[in-house]
Amino acid sequence: MDNKVVVTLARAFVQRGWRTARFNFRGIGGSGGEWDEGRGEIDDALAVITALRAGDEPLALAGFSFGAYVASHAASQTHPRHLVLVGPASQNFTVAPVPQGTLVVHGEADEVVPLAATLEWARPQALPVVVVPGGGHFFHGQLALLKSLVLQHLSASAD
């Protein structure tokens, strides 16, 4: 919830006028529950969406690393207007297929999730992946670039 990439994503969405919610997955920080290998964490994300979404209000989802895996599955059930996945955990989890127009950003030198794993996931979907040259998993020194990519995407895909 307090990871600098997650905070950067939230700030970009707020800057474009979206209400945002960040939360810890079960068992992380002060949250209750235990790790459920992704299943329960997807349910948790859907519960947050249900609790905070007003009627048919447009929805945008973003996730980083494991959170991108969760967001991809939540998106398949909620059909957000915007979906942003950063450094998706495509090597260790089955990231769901996502709609065209999804912004996927990955660091070229990601030391946690190899770029090749995300390209392998994206390839069958003909889904573009924005590669940040020299970028690692946590985008050290490149958060401003990441934020600008998200802002540009939200502006370009605004209804």
Q: Which domains are present in the chain?
A: 4-156 (3.40.50.1820)
Asked if residue 45 lies in contact with residue 72, where contact means CB atoms within 8 angstroms, the answer is no
**What pLDDT was estimated at residue 158?**
64
pLDDT at 116 over 60: yes
Share of the chain above pLDDT 70, in %: 97
Mean local confidence (pLDDT), 115-124: 98
Residue keyed to tokens 């065209």 = 100
Q: What single-letter amino acid sits at 129? A: V
Q: Quote the mean pLDDT of the chain.
A: 94
Q: For 20-61, what is each residue's pLDDT tens digit?
A: 999 888 777 777 787 767 788 999 999 999 999 988 899 999
Beta bridge partners of 88: none
Residue 66's pLDDT band, with cuts at 50, 70 and 90, is: very high
pLDDT at 159 over 60: no
Q: For 130-141, what is each residue's pLDDT tens digit?
A: 999 999 999 999
